[in-house]
């Protein structure tokens, strides 16, 4: 079975067993638009093709990072698994981060490493290093990384292909690492990555749908991806500082600020901030290649969006009117999303006075949800955020292709039954999941595999043609990872 999973997820997997209630996030990259992820790159593009996630450059300029975070919110213990992946880049890492603290495994040059860093310590500690002998773009069978809190230490486990099986406790980890965001981080002037599928098992923490962050806890649960930027979580503010001191050699940095919340549909987020940005800044809701953004460029404010145009990450559309503002004339910003049957209404508000509104007609389902972020691309940033507030309706009733998602998993009896030579098998998924549907004979031999892929929530129908089989009794079995456990159901059918 061809399974390629590269940099996109932060799957922490290891040999330890989760003792808590766990959730499972899986993606077979079949929907074509990288939905379900916060995905950001400086110059590369990312897309799904032939059931693979693909990221490719080459990168140009000083900014050379790509980051992918599954939209599962802040997590506790986490298990990451990558299978049959290949990459070409200076380095690639799997990580869990909280504020300025992180634990990660990464490959750079000819070695694989495990590191950690605490927010109040400038030193990055290397826990494990081993030489590898892997040519660029060689298929790698597996890369597994797990982090589990054992009260007095964090248990880190790493397996890589058939050559590494490493486990160790790490003491003196920053307490804010009890929660954090996980993902894949890639860097280098040239990037090419292929991924077939990804699975993340994690301890869900979540946040209330009405949540305010005042940055008095060292950025616990937050993640800031940055180029050449000083990031400080202290004194009741988030301070981003990027100063270009050489006007003859201007270097533009990119900063993404990702909160520890779950994705949402209807709702808003707002912030209070002051400072200076020389370049581009914005607030956005992101879901893979889908995003809606309020952009601040010089003295103008726009609303725009990208609705996952295939293999074109920059197919950006401006919508609505723009407004003129002067720098530092506003402090409070609010961005609101309202879904209607045929559109998304986006409202941006500055200090409750300046108002900008746009309507996006016939959006895809992927554009109707996402993760809120802040983004900066500038050569000078001196930005202080005092607080950020989120108020949204949690996603409890997902829709897929216009059909309401069922509330439970169920495998239905095939129809017709008995049959000759074809029959239909139906099943329902209350959430996105990896599904395997197989047919067996009376001796337990697999006759055929009907489904072996990641599927969206909803009602699914499979046609089974048994014209090449002998009459008799057969069984069909479905295996799904749902509701914090693996579920199997089997039913009997008769071919006449």
Residue 342 confidence (pLDDT) above 90: yes
* Residue 198 and residue 70 share a domain: yes
Q: How confident is the model at residue 402 (pLDDT cuts 50, 70, 90)?
A: very low
Sign of CA dihedral 318, 323, 324, 327: negative
| DSSP-based three-state secondary structure for 288 | coil
Condensed to tens digits (0 to 9), the pLDDT of residues 55-98 reads 887 655 445 788 889 888 888 899 888 788 898 888 999 999 99
Q: Please, which residues have CB within 8 angstroms of residue 346's CB and are 6 or more apart in sequence?
A: 292, 294, 303, 320, 335, 336, 337, 338, 357, 358, 359, 360
The token duo for 378 is 């500038």
* Residue 156 and residue 40 share a domain: yes
Q: For residue 319, how many other CB atoms are within 10 A of its CB?
A: 16
Condensed to tens digits (0 to 9), the pLDDT of residues 238-268 reads 999 887 655 555 556 788 899 988 888 899 9
* Residue 368 and residue 313 share a domain: yes
* Residue 141 and residue 279 share a domain: no
pLDDT at position 320 is 63
* Residue 228 and residue 252 share a domain: yes
- The answer to whether 53 touches 8, Cβ cutoff 8 Å, is yes
Q: Which of 95-109, 133-147, 309-323, 428-442 has the lowest mean pLDDT?
A: 309-323
Question: Which of left, alpha, beta for 172 (phi over 0: left; psi -120 to 50: alpha)?
Answer: left
The token duo for 486 is 């693996």
For 351, the domain range is 210-396
* Residue 345 and residue 482 share a domain: no
Domain boundary among 337, 368, 396: 396
* Residue 173 and residue 159 share a domain: yes
* Mean pLDDT to the nearest integer, 111-131: 93
Of 82, 311, 56, which Cα lies nearest the Cα of 188?
Answer: 56
* Mean pLDDT to the nearest integer, 4-16: 28
Condensed to tens digits (0 to 9), the pLDDT of residues 362-387 reads 998 889 989 999 998 888 888 999 99
How many domains would you assign to the chain?
3
pLDDT at position 117 is 94
pLDDT at position 227 is 65
Element (H, E) at 476: strand 472-482
Question: Strands 253-258, 192-195: parallel, antiparallel or unpaired by DSSP?
Answer: unpaired
Residue 292 confidence (pLDDT) above 60: yes
* Residue 363 and residue 296 share a domain: yes
Residue with tokens 């955020």: 385
Identify the residue with better confidence: 466 or 54: 466
């Amino acid at each position: 079975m061809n399974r390629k999973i590269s940099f996109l997820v932060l799957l922490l997997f290891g040999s330890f067993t989760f003792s808590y209630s766990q959730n499972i996030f899986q993606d077979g990259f079949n929907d074509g638009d990288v939905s379900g992820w916060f995905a950001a790159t400086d110059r590369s593009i990312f897309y799904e093709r032939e059931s693979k996630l693909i990221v490719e450059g080459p990168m140009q300029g000083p900014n050379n990072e790509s980051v992918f975070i599954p939209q599962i919110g802040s997590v506790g213990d986490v298990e990451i698994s990558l299978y049959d992946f290949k990459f070409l880049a200076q380095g690639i890492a799997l990580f869990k981060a909280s504020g300025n603290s992180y634990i990660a495994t990464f490959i750079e040059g000819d070695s694989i490493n495990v590191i950690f860093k605490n927010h109040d310590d400038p030193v990055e500690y290397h826990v494990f290093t081993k030489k590898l002998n892997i040519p660029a773009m060689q298929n790698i069978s597996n890369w597994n990384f797990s982090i589990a809190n054992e009260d007095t230490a964090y248990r880190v486990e790493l397996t890589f292909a058939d050559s590494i099986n490493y486990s160790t406790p790490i003491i003196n980890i920053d307490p804010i690492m009890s929660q954090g965001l996980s993902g894949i981080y890639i860097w280098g002037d040239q990037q090419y990555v292929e991924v077939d599928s990804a699975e993340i098992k994690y301890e869900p923490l979540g946040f209330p749908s009405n949540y305010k962050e005042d940055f008095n806890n060292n950025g616990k649960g937050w993640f800031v991806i940055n180029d050449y930027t000083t990031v400080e979580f202290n004194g009741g503010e988030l301070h981003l500082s990027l100063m270009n001191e050489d006007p003859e050699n201007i270097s533009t940095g990119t900063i993404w600020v990702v909160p520890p919340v779950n994705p949402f549909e209807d709702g808003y987020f707002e912030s209070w901030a002051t400072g200076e940005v020389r370049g581009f800044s914005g607030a956005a809701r992101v879901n893979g290649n889908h995003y809606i953004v309020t952009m601040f460029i010089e003295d103008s404010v726009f609303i725009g969006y990208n609705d996952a145009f295939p293999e074109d990450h920059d197919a950006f559309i401006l919508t609505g009117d723009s407004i003129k503002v002067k720098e530092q004339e506003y402090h409070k910003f609010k961005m609101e999303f309202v879904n209607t049957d045929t559109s998304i209404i986006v409202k941006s508000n500055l200090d409750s006075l300046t108002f900008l509104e746009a309507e996006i007609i016939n959006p895809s389902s992927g554009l109707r949800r996402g993760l809120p972020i802040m983004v900066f691309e500038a050569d000078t940033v001196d930005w202080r955020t005092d607080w950020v507030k989120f108020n949204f309706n949690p996603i409890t009733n997902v829709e897929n292709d216009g059909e309401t998602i069922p509330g439970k998993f169920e495998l239905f009896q095939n129809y017709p039954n008995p049959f000759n030579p074809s029959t239909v098998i139906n099943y329902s998924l209350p959430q996105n999941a990896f599904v395997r549907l197989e047919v067996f004979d009376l001796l337990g031999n697999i006759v055929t595999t009907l489904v072996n892929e990641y599927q969206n929530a909803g009602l699914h129908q499979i046609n089974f043609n048994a014209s090449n089989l002998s009459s008799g009794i057969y069984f069909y079995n479905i295996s799904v990872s749902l509701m914090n456990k693996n579920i199997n159901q089997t039913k009997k059918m008769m071919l006449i």
